[in-house]
Structure 1
Amino acid sequence: MKQATIKSFLFSTSALLLLLTVNAFVDDRSIPAADTRPNIIIIITDDQGYGDVGFNGCSDIQTPNIDKIAANGVVFTQAYVTYAVCAPSRAGLLTGRYQDRFGYSRNPLYKPNDPNQGLSLEETLLPQLLQQHNYTTMAIGKWHLGAHEKYRPWNRGFDTFFGFLGGGHRYHPNEYTIANEDSAKNEAESYKTKLTRNGVPVDETMYITDAFSREAVNFIKRSSKQPFFLYLAYNAPHAPLQATESYLKRYEHVKDTKRRTYAAMVSAVDDGVGVILATLQEQGIADNTIVIFLSDNGGPKQDNASDNGHLRGGKGTLFEGGIRVPFAMQWPMRIKSHTTYTKPVSSLDIFATIADELHITSQVKKPLDGVNLLPFINGLKNEAPHNYLYWRQYDQKRYAVLHASGLKLHLSDTSKMLFNVSSDIGEHQNIIQQEASNSSMLLAKKNEWEAQMIPPQIWGLNQEKQYQFGKKP
């Protein structure tokens, strides 16, 4: 009996030693313990100007809750998106790759029955990667990455979707007069569809921004015991300019009626951010939740009375006002509060940061164009995250290339301009004559980058005629 006990003990000890030896050779970075992995929330607004948040100096619109994200973490003062309009910018963000690599370089036509009008299925979206690692995922709000069934968010990595599939929407539920997303014949009609929950039409009663905030809070509450990813894509403050009386009353002092409604719409978003941050605290998960806030492109001042501050241009242009956006991130466990980062960063870095922090970058099928921002934010790396950033507007034949020094080259068929946005943020002084060698260097870099890109694979909003004639993009 005693001998059997000794043998049993020796066997158990050997098994334990074997297990410890095997574990020693397993990369413990590859699969983080479930209870240490962060929750992730990306909050993206639509057509919000660079100057329309408090942390970038806005004085006439109050954004105390959005500003909390900045105060709790880091403000990126020179943050860029990959395109100057909605859909391509979102494609770059959710793939971590320049959208020109896979031809999603236009705002797509709304064609729910066309299997070719959407973001390539060859690309891995961030939610698909996270879903593979047992994250609970939800998208709320604007999609704009393909209306056909195979491109819809519940088929692209999101367990749940609540929102609309096109590029914009009406804000008041009484205007949702089209039964479902498949019944809309074009982009304009898609603005009037009922909201959908994974393809099932919803009889919504709330102002759309408040409805999206409600859904976000409910998702956080039911998912707080496991790692989750929430992509909250408000359509505010994109046109049409519509707000409720309660939000408009906050800005009765704003004389310009467009600006007043715009301010009310931004205020509704800010209220939503406030209840989301409060919910994270109530659930005890705020410290280990990454919260990222940004706009999808610069503000179109003429359309919605947005303000891009001192930046030149706006939505649709490659000047700073079109591609430089408000961008803040908090992660209390990893990022010091009240941090400011001044070197150029990109929305491409969001995917890369998350994947690297979860140690799953090696499982991404195609190379990412972004980098992990944490080592730069926390001072472990002193160089710029990117030596160069690139932009292309294929149809307009316009390009821009930014060097980490601040030198920025603009190219088109009719002009070539060089600015130093580090000292000339408004892009007023064309210094191309004085900087001929640097201009040539940036042109060579642009050509090298463009050789890796492909033409658009989808038709854009202004190309209905070409589409109807059956031409290829």
Structure 2
Amino acid sequence: MKNKLTIFLLLTFVSISFQYLVWNCNIGDNFFNEGNWQKKITGFALHISANNKTKDLINPPSQPNIIVIMADDLGYNDVSFNGSQQIPTPNIDRIANEGVKCTNGYVSYSVCGPSRAGFLTGRYQQRFGFERNPQYDPSDPNMGLAHDESTIANNLGSVGYKTGIIGKWHLGANIKNHPLNRGFDEFFGHLGGGHQYFSNMWTIEDSYAINSESKSYRTWLMRDHKPVNPITTPKYITEEFADESVAFVERHKDSPFFLFLSYNAPHGPLQATQKYLDRFPNIKSKKRRTYAAMVSALDDGVGLLMDKLEELNLDENTLVFFLSDNGGPEDKNASDNGLLREGKSSVYEGGYHVPFAIRWKGTVKQGVYDKPVSSLDIMATAVALANAKTNPEKPLDGVNLIPYITGEKLGKPHETIYLRKFDQDRFAVRYNDYKLVVIKGEKELYNLEKDLSETTNIAKQHIDQVEKIDALRKSWNEELIDPVFKGLVHRKKRINKNGN
């Protein structure tokens, strides 16, 4: 009996080992060439060792559902999981507290449109010239996301995912850049960069009949290509988007899906219903109180979506990201970036260091991850999990985050995080714990581990670091192109290839 058990266990181990080698080591693809077999056997041993050490990656489901919830102009310090004492966000906190809170989460740009272009393509948007908030111009097919770039919806749709976007688009108002022509199966929302929150102000039926940013805030919402009569969408817009997200999940519960829940809250105009205002009687500033109410409404919407996933037994088969598209514009919407310097549009931390959390119940354990991660990583993570292909001629700038946040990979996802502001002639490069800021050729250096608020410029004391990081900046800048369309704000002068 003992011998039979030993043989059984041995055969089981050999079988599992062989399956690992087949699935993960590409047997048959030059396995025995150039010493590959030695590397792959070693990889198997390391795989066993890593899993025994971390136990964080627990049988992840194939082709999980993927949801990205993006707030608009949300301050870093305006969620409870980042320390807000004034605005409770219990539902957003569920994502962080039941998953991983990323304390050093970045986006690829510090204003809305370019940041979203980076996230949706997984590439620094300056590689394809999207470096300004696009003007609202339905007549211009080039005013928006480059047509030869693939989106996360394109890539996931190619392997059977149902893809949807709810809320703000802001990647071009021309029909060629409509979400349904950029890989999405479903769209409910608005094409421009912001919107009025109450339906009695939606007075323009045809979103293609105007070319004005201010007028775009008053269009009817769209379902796919058709305008939706405001009579049928009477709720506060944040509630409309929340209800649509729940309905999307219900419709596609039996197939893998990707949902981009793109709230326009708490972007201006500052508008809220009495229901949410009443939650903050102690906030004396009208502006701050309205902002808090808008964040609270968003949090309620996140709660409805999380509850629906649990109700349908999908929460363990769904990877959820939460983040803001950029930092809060404190002077405009009364947001709070906490210790971070400045806010939206800045090259300092308040501009693009954002609330960032990841939840995948049953697969990723609860915890805090302190190494820098980027919105560019969402695409790379999604296509890796979905087993989808990307265009090798347009390599991604992000990485699959799952092995890092589970501890399977112990290094940093990124040694460098880059930012370029073409029109202001400004750059920022985070290199490990150092950060170089270049403003019209003038260089500043900060140690973010010791000085997250960027109060003390140490460039003169660390000339070697300045030179090293500046060389990285110049090399990266050579890979980029100039903006390809005029934006809401733009300038004519070109940055030379050295960025000086």
TM-score above 0.5: yes
Residue 397 of structure 2 corresponds to which residue in structure 1?
Answer: 369
2:455 pairs with 1:433 = no
Separation in 2 of the partners of 1:83 and 1:43? 17
CA distance in 1, matches of 2:413, 2:206: 44
**Residue 386 of structure 1 is aligned with which of 398, 410, 414?**
414
1:408 maps to 435
Pairing partner for 1:290 from 296, 319, 333: 319
**In 2, Cα distance between the equivalents of 1:238 and 1:446?**
31
Partner of 1:115: helix, strand, or coil? coil
- Do the aligned partners of 2:316 and 2:362 also contact (CA within 8 Å) in 1? yes
Moved over 4 A (4+): 23-30, 361-365, 463-466
Residue by residue over 1:31-77, the C-alpha shift from the partner in whole angstroms, topping out at 9 and shown as x without a partner, is xxx97320010000000000000000000001000000001100000
Specify whether residues 263 and 269 from structure 1 end up closer, same or farther in structure 2 by C-alpha distance, changes over 3 A only. Answer: same
| 1:437-472 C-alpha deviation (Å, 9 max, x unpaired) | 000001100000000000001111035999xxxxxx
- From 345, 350, 355, the equivalent of 1:326 is 355
Per-residue Cα deviation, 1:261-311 (whole angstroms, up to 9, x for no partner)? 000000000000000000001111111101110000000011000000000
Paired with 2:246 and 2:317, the residues of 1 have a C-alpha distance of 17
Q: CA deviation at 1:400?
A: 0.5
Counterpart of 2:105 in structure 1 is 79
- What do the CA deviations read for 1:5-46 (whole angstroms, capped 9, x no partner)? xxxxxxxxxxxxxxxxxx99985899xxx9732001000000
Amino acid at match of 1:441: K
The answer for unaligned runs of 5 or more in structure 1 is 1-22, 467-473
Partner of 2:126: 100
Instruction: Name structure 2 gaps, 5 residues minimum.
Output: 1-18, 27-59, 494-500
Q: Residue 460 of structure 2 aligns to a residue in which SS?
A: coil
* Structure 1 letter corresponding to 2:486: W
Please give the secondary structure, in 2, of the residue aligned with 1:229: strand
Q: CA deviation digits over 1:80-106, x for unaligned, max 9? A: 101010000000101000000000000
Q: Is the 8 A contact 1:124 1:364 kept in 2?
A: no
CA contact (8 A) 1:352 1:361 kept: no
1:36 alignment partner, SS class:
coil
Aligned letter for 1:157? G
Once the two structures are superposed, the pairs formed by residues 40-439 of structure 1 within 5 Å of their partners are 40-203=66-229, 204-337=233-366, 339-361=367-389, 366-404=394-432, 406-413=433-440, 415-439=442-466
d(CA) in 2 for partners of 1:190, 1:168: 8
Distance across 2 between alignment mates of 1:462 and 1:49: 22
* C-alpha distance in 1 between matches for 2:223 and 2:155: 22
Q: Which residue of 2 aligns with 1:16?
A: none
Shift of 1:415: 2.5
- Secondary structure at 1:276 match in 2: helix
CA contact (8 A) 1:29 1:359 kept: no
CA deviation string 1:118-140 (max 9, x = no partner):
11011110001011111011100
Aligned length: 440
Determine the structure 1 residue equivalent to 2:475.
448
Cα pair distance change 1:92/1:294, threshold 3 Å: same
Kindly indicate whether the alpha-carbon contact (under 8 Å) linking 1:50 and 1:325 is maintained by their aligned counterparts in 2.
Answer: yes
Deviations 1:360-389 (A, max 9, x none): 345665200011111111112221111111
**AA at the equivalent of 1:298:** G
Q: CA shift at 1:321, angstroms?
A: 0.4
- What amino acid is aligned across from residue 224 of structure 2 in structure 1? N
Q: Specify the code of the residue in structure 1 equivalent to 2:136.
A: Y
Secondary structure of 1:194's counterpart equals coil
- Distance in 1 between residues matched to 2:491 and 2:466, nearest whole Å: 37
TM-score (norm 1): 0.90
What is the deviation of 1:333? Answer: 2.9
> What TM-score, normalized to structure 2?
0.85
> Which stretch of the first structure deviates more once superposed, 104-113 or 195-204?
195-204
Task: Say if 2:156 and 2:388, in contact at 8 Å, map to a contact too.
Answer: no
Aligned-partner residue type, residue 128 of structure 1: N
**RMSD of equivalent CA atoms:** 2.1
| SS of residue in 1 equivalent to 2:278 | helix
Partner SS, residue 208 of structure 2: helix
* Alpha-carbon separation, structure 1, partners of 2:436 and 2:234: 48
Aligned partner letter, 1:342: D
Q: Residues 29 and 176 (structure 1 numbering): CA distance in 2 closer, same or farther, change over 3 Å?
A: farther
2:279 partner amino acid = R
Q: CA deviation at 1:239?
A: 0.5
**Deviations 1:373-415 (CA, angstroms, capped at 9, x unpaired):** 11111112221111111110011110011112x1000002162
Following superposition, the deviation at residue 359 of structure 1 comes to 2.8
Residues 221 and 173 of structure 1, relative CA distance in 2, 3 Å threshold: same
Deviates more, 1:229-238 or 1:356-365: 356-365
Hey, what's the Cα distance between the residues in 2 that align with 1:253 and 1:185? 41
The change in CA–CA distance for 1:464 and 1:431 in structure 2 (over 3 A counts) is closer
Distance 1:312 1:122, change over 3 A: same
What CA deviation, in whole Å up to 9, does each residue of 1:105-162 have, x standing for no partner? 0001110111111110111100010111110111000001111000010111111100
